Copies of this chain bind each other. A is one copy, B any other.
Amino acid sequence: MKLEEIARRLGCELRGDGRVEISGAAGIEGAGPGEITFVSNPKYAGKVKDSRAGAIILAPDAAETPIPTLVSDNPYLAFARVIELFYRPPEPVPGIHPTAVIEESAEIGEDYSIGAHVVVGPGVRLGDRAVLHPHVVIYPEAEIGEDFVAHSHAVVREHCRIGDRVILQNGAIVGADGFGFAPTGDGKFSKIVQSGVVVLEDDVEVGSYACIDRATVGETRIRRGTKVDNLVQIGHGCQVGEDTVLAAQVGLAGSTRVGNRVMLAGQVGAAGHLTIEDGVIATAQTGIARSVEKGKRVSGTPEMDSALWRKNYVLMHRFPELVKTVKELEARVKELEGRE
């Protein structure tokens, strides 16, 4: 595809030779002569001059380059659109595979693709254009909106409710039992029936083997647009806000509330019954033990202000010296005290 054609489809301004032929997209370091790349983060601006890319997408204020350029206010988003010009995932096969087991009382919308060995339980309601890859299991009475995509081995448990345009990656599990056991007083535990549900609002995506547990009573809720990465654990009764990002292997204990536009980096954990307010950022592996106020950036276990944590980390490189210095000072002060 010629670059000028890409410019036209994306509605981007073109700088340089639009006749260059582009056959694919690649990252700034790997892109070759027939490929288009992008730079969004100013941190990588220096890499443009060494790039062998055939074309590049840049912000309006980027430095000039001899590489033919598409100008976009949001180069990363434009790059995402370019990828779609060159790649289409395999088309779902329309209809219901003969090995799928659909209970008669299930209501299924139009234009579906239901793969081999899928199981849809009694009373399920499934909106239009659902794509259920092989081996998806929908338990009884689940309600799911339009444009649902579930990859192989994803599961929606009984009574859970899912909005429109939700994507479940392979093995994502919505609504398994929360971890609820009452001590019986003799050192043993008695299982507490997990009677609540999980609600996923519109435009949520859930990664592979992420676990979103059903509530003991009431609901666990993930609000509109939030993205949950692989192997994340969300405990029973949690409430997660809109457009929040939970990176891989994050764990939230039960009944914790997470606000809107929060970013929890990989392997962050949060204790139960906390409130993590809007816009909070926690760096990787942070252990959040108390509620965190709006917009704060936290790190460490337990969490503290990220700037302080980073400063302490640098100072810790000289901690053995510090200890030695204090010991020496003690001796020197003692010596001074002994003088007359």
- A interface residues with partner B (beta carbon < 8 Å): 24-27, 30, 73-74, 76-77, 79-80, 83-84, 86-87, 89-90, 97, 99, 101, 115-117, 119, 121-122, 133-135, 137, 139-141, 151-153, 155, 157-158, 167, 169-171, 173, 176-177, 179-185, 187-193, 195, 203, 205, 207-209, 211, 213, 216-218, 225, 227, 229-231, 233, 235, 237, 243, 245, 247-249, 251, 253, 255, 260-261, 266-267, 269, 271, 284-285, 287, 289, 300-302, 304, 308, 311-313, 315-320, 322-323, 325-326, 329-330, 332-333, 336-337
Contact = CB atoms under 8 A, between A and B. Distances in A.
A287 B285 contact: yes
Given A99-B101, A137-B153, A285-B301, A320 B325 contact: no
Contact of A325 (B183, B289, B304, B326): B326
Contact of A248 (B155, B184, B251): B251
B90 A119 contact: no
Given A211-B208, A243-B189, A326-B329, A152 B177 contact: no
Chain copies in the assembled complex:
3
A302 B158 CA distance: 41
Contact of A119 (B116, B227, B255, B267): B116
Contacts of A308: 317, 320
Contact of A315 (B99, B218, B319): B319
A109 B309 CA distance: 56
Contact of A316 (B155, B253, B312): B312
Contacts of A180: 80
Given A27-B218, A135-B137, A336-B337, A90 B158 contact: yes
- Interface centre among A30, A83, A311, by most chain B C-beta atoms within 10 angstroms, is A83
A287 B325 CA distance: 29
Given A74-B184, A189-B225, A151 B176 contact: yes
11 contacts: A27-B255, A77-B182, A77-B190, A115-B119, A135-B137, A173-B209, A189-B245, A209-B231, A233-B266, A312-B320, A322-B326
A322 B329 CA distance: 12
Contacts of A177: 167, 169
A203 to B, nearest CB: 8
